[in-house]
Amino acid sequence: MPRASAALLFAACAAAFAQTPPGPVELAPGTMSADGYRLPPYRAATPARHPEAVTVDAAELRELLAQGAVLALDVMATVQRPPTGELAAAFIPSAPREHIPGSYWLPNVGFETLAPAVEAYLRATLARLSGGRPDRGLAFYCIQDCWASWNAARRAARLGYTQVYWFPGGTEGWVAAGGALVPATPEPLP
């Protein structure tokens, strides 16, 4: 992909995550889609609880991970290269990403609407990682005050996963609680 095209894609992705002014969580008309997913901007104050997932803090997530009870799923967005010629579609990290040890990075699955290829990627990757078990614990996170993880948790619940967790603290909350981060690599597109 030409450098200019990659830069434009990155700019579009960054704009979707633009910081909104701090303040109380606002669920005013126009912030949610008709089917209940948060619309951009995704970087904004989030609610204290998730209606379709168990909300956990860093200590609770650490315990769930130690027990092997959940898969940690990082949903931070990045640029996606479209397929061209013999090159398959791939995620191109727009910046180095570090996440919670043992996590799987599933970029771009937290937008309010998913392109068919990204939706297929989410379904296939969740099925692979969960071993096809809808009762496998899935813990979604991103960065602090990011609705992408909220949207992804909602999507997993609506796909039939029954043990869905949401960690709204994201990587910042993990580090603030004394956790380490490790370099992340996106899960490959099918």
Listed ranges 13-22, 74-83, 177-186; the one with the highest mean pLDDT = 177-186
Amino acid letter at 132?
A: G
Q: Which residue bears the tokens 């799987």?
A: 104
How many percent of the chain have pLDDT more than 90? 65
Note whether 14 and 43 are within 8 A (CB). Answer: no
Residue of 190 and 55 predicted with greater confidence: 55
Please say whether the dihedral angle defined by the alpha carbons of residues 107, 110, 115 and 116, taken in this order, is positive or negative.
Answer: positive
Closest by CA to 122, choosing from 173, 79, 167, 73, is 73
- DSSP secondary structure letters along 16-27: HTPBPPP-S---
Cβ of 32: how many Cβ atoms within 10 Å? 15
The enclosing domain of 156 has a CATH number of 3.40.250.10
- Cβ neighbors of 33 (< 8 A, separation 6 or more) are 39, 112, 113
Residue of 69 and 78 predicted with greater confidence: 69
Q: Is residue 26 part of a domain?
A: no
Residue 179 belongs to domain spanning: 3-17+45-183
Angle at 79 between CA 76 and CA 82, to 5 degrees: 135
Q: Is residue 190 part of a domain?
A: no
Task: Please give the Cα distance from 27 to 50 (Å, whole number).
Answer: 13
Q: Is residue 37 part of a domain?
A: no
E-strand ranges in 46-169 read 54-55, 70-74, 79-81, 90-92, 98-99, 104-105, 137-141, 164-166
Structural domain count, the chain: 1
pLDDT of residue 7: 37
How many percent of the chain have pLDDT more than 70? 79
Closest by CA to 95, choosing from 107, 113, 86, 111, is 107
The tens digit of pLDDT for each residue in 84-101 reads 665 566 787 878 899 999
Q: Is residue 25 part of a domain?
A: no
Q: Is residue 33 part of a domain?
A: no
Q: Is residue 74 part of a domain?
A: yes
**pLDDT at residue 159 tops 70:** yes
Cβ of 116: how many Cβ atoms within 10 Å? 7
**pLDDT at residue 108 tops 80:** yes
Q: Where does the chain have alpha helices with state H?
A: 3-16, 58-67, 116-130, 147-158, 170-176
Q: Is residue 32 part of a domain?
A: no
**pLDDT at residue 33 tops 90:** no
pLDDT of residue 87: 54
Q: Is residue 146 part of a domain?
A: yes
What is the model's pTM? 0.81
